[in-house]
Each structure stands twice: as structure tokens, then as C-alpha cells.
A and B are shown apart, each in its own frame.
Chain A
Amino acid sequence: MSRLNVNPTRMELKKLKARLQTAVRGHKLLKDKSDEMIRRFSLLIKENKRLRDSVEDELSQVLKQFSVARSVTPAYVAETAFSMPSVSVELLCGTQSIMGVEVPKVDLSAKRISDGLPYAYSEITGEADYSVARAAELLPKMVELAQTEKAVRLLAAEIERNKRRVNALEYVMIPQLEETIKYIKDKLDENERAAIVRLMKVK
């Protein structure tokens, strides 16, 4: 391990000792942070998996149902019929902090513009009604999934960064400081011994 390029003086020794103390303390704090982030992350990722499984399942059902409904309707009719939503979806987007990582927090509110479905029943089959209604129900869940998944990704990136910092402190900075401190101490002791010997010789 390489030592730092400093002069072996008492001043430097004092400075380095202070730096070492800070580094050790920082290392401990970062390690604790990393542990807690990993704990949160594993909770979050389990939640994410559960949500994704259920959303994927329901979504594929909705889409299947919808494509059946669509197949019995002429394309241009469907195109116009479904382009007029009966609900308007609004999001309230904020952020929350998980261990200092800003993650999105989304609240969804759906406003009904008109009652019932946005198209004439004579044009579209009943299948479509169900699928549109279910899609509307599914939407909040999907938004929740989106939010969780983003949080997982952001947290994963942060954990990785944090791990690098911990490693840099543990395997580079702290050993380097320790070695330099030892070197300065040795050098100072050596100087002292040399001074004593010189004095004894003079006498």
C-alpha cells in the first residue's frame, strides 16, 4: 500500500490523525446507510414484484378482452368511439425521500366527465364496456407500479454508488492514512533516538 507524500512532522501527524478519525467515522456511517438502504430495497423489490405480477396478469386479460371487442367493430368506428374519454385522469406528482434518494410519489385522481361510457351502445359491443371499465380500474395500480419500479431503480443506483464510496474508504483511504501515520511516527521516533545518541556522544 502506498503512503501519502508528506513531510514527517508533528504538524502533519496531527492533521493525518484527524483525517483518519473522520474517515473511520464516515465509513461507519456510510456502511450503516448502505445496510438500511438494502433493507428498504429488498422490501420495495418484493412489493414491486407482487404489483407487477398482478398488473401484468390483469392487463393482458383486459387487452385480450378489448381486442375481441374491437375485432367485431369496424376500425373507424372504434377509433372515434374510444377517443372520447368519459373520465379524465389527473396525477399529483410529488417526491418523497427514501434514505436521501428522491423518489417519485404519485397520487392519482380520476374525474368523471360524464356518466357511463363515452360511446353509443349501439356501435360497440358489450365486451368493450367491461374492458374499458377494467382498464380504468387498473390505471391506479399501474401508476403505483410505475412509482415503485422507479423507486427501485433509483435506489439500486444509489446503493451502488454508496457501495463504491464505502469500498474506497475501507480499502484505499483508511489503509493509506494508517500507513502514513505509522511512517511519520517511526520517523519521529528515529529522529529522537538519533538526538539522544548524539547527546550521549558529546558527553
Chain B
Amino acid sequence: MAVKGKTAFVGDGESILVFRAAGADAFPAEDESSAKEILRKIAKEYQVIFLTEELALSLGSFLKRFDEQPYPVVLAVPSKNGSTGFGEQALKSAMERALGVDILFNN
């Protein structure tokens, strides 16, 4: 029952251009509202969506709606400015939700 899907990148222009060359679709979004707009549009069409951490950070509650179903998969990745620790934070909160303790980072 596997269906064909597509990959999309949403982020600031520079960070995503390289992935356009690598075969994924890229949607430039400079700020929160335009990113929201784009995500709304592409959420049905694309199964895997990568989002730069800066945008993910400001879209926190908006992204929660994708948490309940298997698809689309929205993943925050670092942009050209390097990692902000957002991904680690998300892992940590999932872990604390499920286990109640931190078994990875130990701090």
C-alpha cells in the first residue's frame, strides 16, 4: 500500500537551493507567515517536508497539528546558520512525555 510521495524543503533561500539541485522541491519562505502559508498549501501534496529550524521555532504550535498522523512528516533541520538545538529539544520533550526521564542527554 505504498504510495508515491514527494519531498519538499521550506526555508530561507540560500539554505534550500542546494537541495533543489539535488532533486527535492524547494519553497523559499522568509518569515513565519509565509512559511505557514506554504505549509498549508503543500501539506497534502508532499509527504516529507523539511523545515529550517529558525522557521520551526517560530511555528511551534502550528506544527503540532502534524503530530497526530503518520503523514506528512515534518522535520526541522539546521539552516546555513548552524544548529540551534531545536531538534535536540524536540527529542527531549518527546522523551520526557513518554518516559518521564531523560535517558540520552543526562542533564
Interface residues of A (CB under 8 A from B): 38, 41-42, 45-46, 48-49, 52, 55-56, 59-60, 62-64, 66-67, 70, 78-79, 81-95, 102-107, 110, 117-119, 131-132, 135-136, 139, 142-143, 145-147, 149-150, 152-157, 159-160
Q: Is B5 on the interface with A (CB-CB < 8 A)? A: yes
Mark each residue of chain B from 76 to 107: 1 if its CB lies under 8 Å from any CB of chain A, else 0. Answer: 01111011000110110011011100011000
Mark each residue of chain B from 1 to 18: 1 if its CB lies under 8 Å from any CB of chain A, else 0. Answer: 111111100000011011
Taking a contact as CB atoms under 8 Å apart, the answer to whether B22 and A136 are in contact is yes
**CB contact list, B33-82 vs A, under 8 A:** 47-48, 50, 67-68, 70-71, 73-75, 77-80, 82
A135 to B20, CA, bound (A): 10
Q: Which residues of the partner chain A approach B91 to less than 8 Å between Cβ atoms?
A: 45, 48-49, 52, 149, 152
How many residues in B have their beta carbons less than 8 Å from beta carbons of A? Answer: 44
Residue with the highest number of chain B CB atoms closer than 10 Å, among A78, A83, A146, A155: A146
Q: Which 4 A-B pairs have the closest CB atoms?
A: A94-B2, A91-B5, A146-B75, A156-B98
Taking a contact as CB atoms under 8 Å apart, the answer to whether A93 and B47 are in contact is yes
A sample of 15 cross-chain residue pairs with beta-carbon separation below 8 angstroms, ordered by A number, consists of A56-B87, A60-B83, A63-B18, A63-B79, A66-B14, A82-B20, A85-B22, A86-B23, A90-B6, A91-B5, A91-B47, A105-B2, A117-B21, A146-B48, A149-B73
By secondary structure, the B interface counts as mixed
Interface residues of B (CB under 8 A from A): 1-7, 14-15, 17-24, 47-48, 50, 67-68, 70-71, 73-75, 77-80, 82-83, 87-88, 90-91, 94-95, 97-99, 103-104
A104 to B98, CA, bound (A): 19
In the complex, what residue of chain A is closest to B93 when comparing beta carbons? A156
Known contacts A56-B83, A155-B98; 5 further A-B pairs (Cβ under 8 A): A45-B91, A52-B91, A55-B77, A86-B21, A146-B75
By secondary structure, the A interface counts as helix
Q: Which residues of the partner chain B approach A56 to less than 8 Å between Cβ atoms?
A: 77-78, 83, 87
Q: Which residues of the partner chain B approach A154 to less than 8 Å between Cβ atoms?
A: 67-68, 70
Q: Which residues of the partner chain B approach A66 to less than 8 Å between Cβ atoms?
A: 14, 17-18, 80
Q: Which residues of the partner chain B approach A62 to less than 8 Å between Cβ atoms?
A: 18
A94 to B11, CA, bound (A): 26
Q: Which residues of the partner chain B approach A119 to less than 8 Å between Cβ atoms?
A: 21
Residue with the highest number of chain B CB atoms closer than 10 Å, among A107, A154, A155: A154
